[in-house]
Amino acid sequence: MLVQQEGSWPREAVGLSRLPDEIKNHLSVPGVETFLLRGRAKHPAARAAYVVQLQQGVVSGLEHASDEALLDLDLAALVAGAPSPWPSAESLLLVCTHSKRDRCCAEIGRPIYKALAQRWPTRTWEVSHLGGHRFAGNVVALPQGWFYGNLDLDSAVATIEALDEGRLLLDHLRGRGGLSAEVQYAEIELRRHLGFDRVGGVKVVAHDPGRVVLSVLDASYELLIDEVPGPDLLMSCRDDLAKASTCFRTSALTSR
């Protein structure tokens, strides 16, 4: 769920937001993640809200004068795959600018937001914390749920231009929302191995711990993956000391 709320956001954007408690409780359904949006110029007379169903690759939206409109949604049914009652919406670009969660998101994210909003004004929004602030600037492209990180002004614009042409720039691709971290890693590794940058064409066939099978067009590939210690990293702009990290490593990649 994406809910427009202008002004500053607290560190816990939704939980401590100005949304009525009734709305917060209604949004607290297993399988639902809620984020806040800013961008009043696009909707001066009303607020916007969106339902994003990543598995179906669908975004639907509504302009509403009151947050009570959200109460009409059967969120449990939507999680189970029921179609949204709201009209289909155009693709969206979400740029994390949540300064109270991490100042890097604001310092790096806001210039990126302005650059993307200048090119794609009706699609681009500021969004609350998406996760992985060490990857700032972070951008998510919906409805597919492509997560991009470590962007600057030039790479952000180039990334979205390529996406609109049906191509993925892999250098900044973090993965695809709705999938486990292991599967996301496997997809990016396989795409690099094959030089395959088409937006579609990759499907998950099977996933067990340490093993992912993906299909690319008419071929299947098995990746064996280990989780190993990574380098010490500064996880946040607030951090003074680097912290231990983990990362994935491919031990085998075979066609089937």
Domain range annotation of the chain: 2-79, 179-256
Work out the average pLDDT over 65-85: 89
pLDDT value at residue 233: 65
Q: What is the pLDDT of residues 80-101, one digit of tens each?
A: 999 999 999 989 999 999 766 6
pTM over 0.85, yes/no: yes
Tokens 């917060």 locate to: 24
Give Cβ neighbours of residue 130 (< 8 Å, ≥ 6 apart): 35, 94, 96, 138, 140, 147
pLDDT value at residue 104: 75
User: What's the length of the chain?
Assistant: 256
Choice between 190 and 15, residue whose per-residue pLDDT is larger: 190
pLDDT at 236 over 90: no
Q: Taking phi first (over 0 means left), then psi (-120 to 50 degrees means alpha), and beta for anything else, what does residue 93 get?
A: beta
Give CA angle at 164 (161, 166), nearest 5°.
Answer: 115
Burial of 36 per CB tally in 10 Å (0-12, 13-18, 19+): buried
DSSP secondary structure letters along 109-140? HHHHHHHHHHHSTTTEEEES--S-GGG-S-EE
Strand, helix or coil at 216? strand
pLDDT value at residue 45: 65
pLDDT value at residue 133: 63
Work out the average pLDDT over 63-74: 84
Work out the average pLDDT over 125-140: 83
Q: What is the pLDDT of residues 41-50, one digit of tens each?
A: 776 667 899 9
Q: Return d(Cα 199, Cα 47) in angstroms, integer.
A: 31
Q: Return d(Cα 254, Cα 256) in angstroms, integer.
A: 6
Beta-strand runs (E) in 46-200 = 47-53, 58-64, 92-96, 124-127, 139-142, 146-148, 173-176
Choice between 115 and 90, residue whose per-residue pLDDT is larger: 115
pLDDT at 239 over 70: no
Per-position b or e across 169-201, b if 16+ CB within 10 A of its CB: beebbbbbbebeebbbbbbbbbbeeeeeeeeee
pLDDT value at residue 69: 81
Among the residue ranges 132-141, 153-162, 181-190, 191-200, the one predicted with the least confidence is: 132-141
Average pLDDT, the chain: 88
pLDDT at 182 over 70: yes
